[in-house]
Chains A and B, each alone.
Chain A
Amino acid sequence: MTTKKVTEHSQDELRSQIMRIEFFFEFLRTVLSIVIALGIVLVIVAFITDDPLKAIQTLLMGPLKSVRVFGNVIELAIPLTFCGLAITVIFSSNRFNMAADGAFFVGGLAGACAALAVPDAPFMVKLFVGLSAGFGTGMIIGLIPALLNRFFGAWELITSLMMNYAYGFFVRYVLNRVIRNKDSISIESHPFNVDMGKLFTGTRIHYGLIIVLVLAVLVYVFMYKTRWGYALRVTGKSEKYATYSGIKTGIVILGAQVMGAAIAGLGGAVEMFGLYQTFRWTASQGYGFDGIIISTLARNNPLFVPISAFFLSYLRIGADVLNRSSDIPAELMSAIQAVIILLIAAKAFLSGYKQKAIVKQSQKFAAQGGEAE
């Protein structure tokens, strides 16, 4: 009888040890994925350039070489964080709505148009109207695939990706036919005169940084500290369980997609007022898709999103600097991203070692149980 007690006790302890092992391997997988991806890139760089050492140094240290370049890193991290947060919210409902990209793109247009519509209003009013327009546009863009799924069973992934093409034509139409400045030689709108101002002189870092960091905290609080966030997480983890618990899953799923896309739309408007005087996007920036890798790296935790956005942005700018100073294309970054996402998404990566560690731990406990006998 004492034997049984000993075994039960060890079983409990064993379980907590296994949790620790699983957590450790999860962490290890993320870090190793990044290291391996960088390693692969270094090998490629070493092959295609005459001075590999210098190239590698430029890639890794390039962003630190001046305040202006490092400012570029932060500046790029702002829209990436917006989109990372958008994807985090959408994906936590376990629906793969890709509306974030379209929402960011059209959100920028909406912000510009709204500001252009009230040319004589005071700055703060203009800013507020513009940001609201971006936010609202994002909501609508997120809602379309969600509704198509709810009423016709169409897969959000497909409809949202297809809608993104339609938005491209829509934005170009509005730019060319509605808001284009005919006097300008380039394709751009009239100036909308909403400049959020720079945070640090000598860089282009704007007040969007403050907005997005506050937003990250707000999203975290929403997801982990409020009952709506709880309902969202439960629904994402198991829709059936949520239904059984009495959660109105239809509304929750719809709400997550609308909120997520709204964040991306807001990001588009912030980007517009932070960096531009006129609207001149003729194609999507693609940040919506970067949001996926950022959210994955951050393990869907809103607080980690700014960090992983910074990481990605740093590599991007590094590749940019490298591209300008050598013969290596900036597309190199795509290769790094692909490898990272592949390794993190691949559950089997390191699983053999994990299994061995768990078996070893279990047997150690079994042996201890045996001694107690």
Chain B
Amino acid sequence: MSETNYLELRKITKVYPNGVIANEDVNMVLQRGEIHALMGENGAGKTTLMKILFGIEQPTSGEIYLEGQKIEIHNPLDAISKKIGMVHQHFMMDENLTVTENVILGMEPTKGLSLDTKKAREMTMEIAKKYNFKITPDKRVMDLSVGQKQKVEILKALIRGAQLLILDEPTAVLTPQETEELFEQLKILRDEGHTIIFISHKLNEVKHICSRATVLRGGKSVGSHDLKDISLAELSKLMVGRDVVREIEKQKAKPGDAVLEVKNLKVLNDELVQVVNDVSFKLRKGEILGIVGVEGNGQRQLIDCVTGLESEYQGEILIDGKVCAHSNGVKQRRDAGLNHIPEDRLTYGVIANATLLENLISNTYDKKENNKGIFMDDKKNSDRVTDLISRFQIKTDSKHTLVRMLSGGNMQKVVAAREMSTDMSILVADQPTRGIDVGTESFIHDRLVEMRDKGVAVLLVSADINEVMELSDSLIVFYEGEITAYFPDASKVTEEELGLYMLGLKKMKDEEIAEVAK
């Protein structure tokens, strides 16, 4: 190793208590002042590796060298004292405190016994100015946009003297415009001499901003490359071990009659804020309707109402022209032919501590054909589950394995197998591929298109813009609880254009939006 290496990770191995080997002999070398990409599919071990570097997890074996010195990082405080800072995927802030208070938390300037608020504010502004961050020091964090929150997180690391910044999937929550802004800021930081680890699996972004990349696959490092010398195609091949076809092959949709109709839906949240404001739309057979929007703009509540999980709403939801019930709404909607792949896999999608069999029969166990009198037809259920496991290629040694022993991708296949295997007219797919590997992702995409071609109406919500754009036949954009745009033909929309609507910079005319309810 040469002296110029700023940081070196050598043969890092991490085995989790449940036996998952997250990292195995991972090597990574960083030069000072570079933006280094850490790439890999979901579950490749990126986040674990960074948690080790930031002291949140301890490696099972392996060594870390900082400027040629062997170091041990026992906890995040240790990491901070070694000038390492991390911006987590899920922000670590007190939402009720102001920007200033969050930034100086734990290193408060004091005047006597009390907090020196003036000094604190000055410190925050000074560091923000130095790196050209536009922030509002006195605003509460809860009132900020996601992009702004992220800036505050970065500032928190910088004010603690971080020379090495770890950004865990920073662009996952940002709109295209906000991403651009973040990149400008990162370039400034780099020019100031900071070193940045940029975790991402978005190839274009990495190519755009990083100089070198380390790729992880299945917990192992499969190489570091200068991005000048490698094409995007080669890079993606490294990540997944095969060529990824991001284009989803599908015929043009042949939409039929409307099966789901939402009429003047209004929802108040716990703070009595109108989170869904007079939303109306129709979903037709044989069509995938995508809902796009920055998270937290009412999509969550809309889906909860449509699927019956939320019973407190005004307006009407109709399936096949029949009004859906408010109480015990889930059962009634399921009986009417609505299936649901939920956003939160571990809370709603599966019971981690139950077997695959128990998980896979929960929407069919009470059907007449699966029972013999008062008893469940064990053989029939068991045969059906065996069939589902093979058809959906769920990797497991037995149907009696507990679901928590499965990987995230396989868990999602369990959800998909259950929700896509019964007769239905509507499928609500909420983040159907969040946090899973590319192989499972394309598998689920294919199934979705297949179901559409069979005449199922699919309502798709996803935080992954590419996914919604590629899968959907038509699109609606959500902003602050309202539909702000409707595109009858999703293939004619660009990412930039969607971004404008998602951020509320543009809004279609009411007549254009009303088209979706016709």
Contacts and interface: CB of A to CB of B under 8 A. Distances in A.
A366 B24 contact: yes
Contact of A16 (B21, B348, B350, B401): B401
A241 interface: yes
A355 B406 CA distance: 18
B89 interface: no
A355 B396 CA distance: 22
A4 interface: yes
B331 A248 contact: yes
Interface string B331-366: 101110000101000011111011000100111011
Please list the 6 inter-chain residue pairs (A to B) with the smallest Cβ-Cβ separation, ordered nearest first.
A246-B331, A245-B362, A244-B348, A246-B334, A18-B19, A16-B397
Contact of B19 (A15, A234, A242, A243): A15
Interface of B is mostly: loop
Interface stretch (B67-75, B258-266, B372-380, B445-453): B372-380
Interface string A117-153: 0000000000000000000000000000000000000
B405 A363 contact: no
Nearest to B363: A245
A244 B309 contact: yes
B397 A7 contact: no
Contact of A230 (B328, B365, B405): B365
B429 to A, nearest CB: 14
A14 interface: yes
A244 B395 contact: no
Contacts of A241: 347-351, 362
B314 interface: no
Interface string A336-368: 000000000000000000010011011100100
A359 B16 CA distance: 8
Interface residues of B, number: 47
A7 B330 contact: no
A18 B404 CA distance: 12
B397 A238 contact: no
A18 B21 CA distance: 13
Given A225-B376, A240-B348, A241-B362, A18 B331 contact: no
Nearest to B395: A12
A359 B347 CA distance: 28
Contacts of B17: 355, 358
B18 interface: yes
B45 interface: no
B98 interface: no
Most buried by B among A225, A242, A243: A243
Given A4-B218, A227-B371, A248-B328, A15 B401 contact: yes
A243 B327 CA distance: 11
A203 to B, nearest CB: 36
Interface string A239-255: 01111111110000000
A226 B375 contact: yes
A1 B401 contact: no
Given A227-B365, A244-B307, A358-B17, 14 more contacts: A7-B218, A225-B378, A227-B366, A227-B376, A230-B361, A230-B365, A233-B358, A234-B358, A241-B351, A244-B340, A244-B348, A247-B331, A359-B15, A359-B19
Given A15-B19, A226-B375, A362-B15, A244 B330 contact: yes
Nearest to B352: A238
Nearest to A243: B330
B269 interface: no
B396 A358 contact: no
B466 interface: no
B348 to A, nearest CB: 4
Given A237-B354, A244-B340, A245-B362, A358 B19 contact: yes
A327 interface: no
A253 to B, nearest CB: 14
B256 interface: no
A247 B348 CA distance: 13
B374 A19 contact: no
A363 B15 contact: yes
B323 to A, nearest CB: 18
A13 interface: yes
A331 interface: no
B29 interface: no
A233 B355 CA distance: 12
Nearest to B367: A227
B385 to A, nearest CB: 13
A50 interface: no
A8 B309 CA distance: 37
A19 B331 contact: no
B241 interface: yes
A1 B347 CA distance: 35
29 contacts: A7-B218, A8-B395, A12-B396, A225-B375, A225-B376, A225-B378, A226-B375, A230-B365, A233-B354, A241-B350, A241-B362, A244-B309, A244-B348, A245-B330, A245-B334, A246-B331, A246-B334, A246-B363, A248-B328, A355-B17, A358-B17, A359-B15, A359-B19, A359-B60, A362-B15, A362-B20, A363-B15, A366-B13, A366-B21
A366 B350 CA distance: 29
B424 interface: no
Contacts of B402: 19
Contacts of A361: 19
Given A227-B376, A246-B363, A366-B24, A4 B309 contact: no
Contacts of A230: 358, 361, 365, 376
Contacts of B363: 245-246
A305 B335 CA distance: 38
A18 B406 CA distance: 12
Interface in B368-401: 371, 374-376, 378, 395-398, 401
B397 A13 contact: yes
Contacts of A221: 375
Contact of A362 (B19, B334, B378, B395): B19
A15 B356 CA distance: 14
